[in-house]
């Protein structure tokens, strides 16, 4: 696993998503500043942990797809169900 490449790609995706301390949330009749909610991704020698979930071994096909999406420059496809309007 190329940890440096994954971290580089995650930083690029964070920039696309508007990483920063505040975001504008549009509401009827106005807008409000809010801090974006982070989705933690922890890399270990033997797997990853996403959003404080269970350890996902690198050998598992879902983990491989998750990381391949990131390396390809895309947000992981499995997040589409949780974030249908995007990140």
Give the pLDDT confidence score for residue 53 in this predicted structure.
Answer: 94
Q: Dihedral, CA atoms, 49, 70, 17, 19, nearest 10 degrees?
A: 60
Give the pLDDT confidence score for residue 31 in this predicted structure.
Answer: 84
Rounded Cα distance, 87 and 22, in Å: 14
Q: Determine the straight-line distance between the first and last CA of the chain, rounded to whole angstroms.
A: 25
Dmax (CA) of the chain: 49
pLDDT band at 61 (very low <50, low <70, confident <90, very high): very high
Q: What is the DSSP letter of 31?
A: E
Rounded Cα distance, 87 and 70, in Å: 14
- Asked whether residue 29 carries a pLDDT value surpassing 90, the answer given is no
Task: Give CATH for domain 3-82.
Answer: 3.30.420
């Amino acid at each position: 696993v190329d940890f440096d490449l994954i971290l580089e790609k995650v930083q690029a995706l964070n920039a696309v998503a508007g990483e920063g301390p505040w975001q504008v949330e549009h509401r009827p009749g106005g807008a409000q500043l809010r801090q974006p909610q982070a989705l933690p991704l922890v890399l270990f020698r033997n797997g990853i942990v996403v959003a404080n979930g269970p350890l996902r071994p690198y050998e598992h096909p879902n983990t491989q797809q998750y990381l391949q999406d990131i390396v390809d420059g895309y947000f992981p496809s499995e997040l589409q169900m949780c974030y249908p309007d995007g990140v």
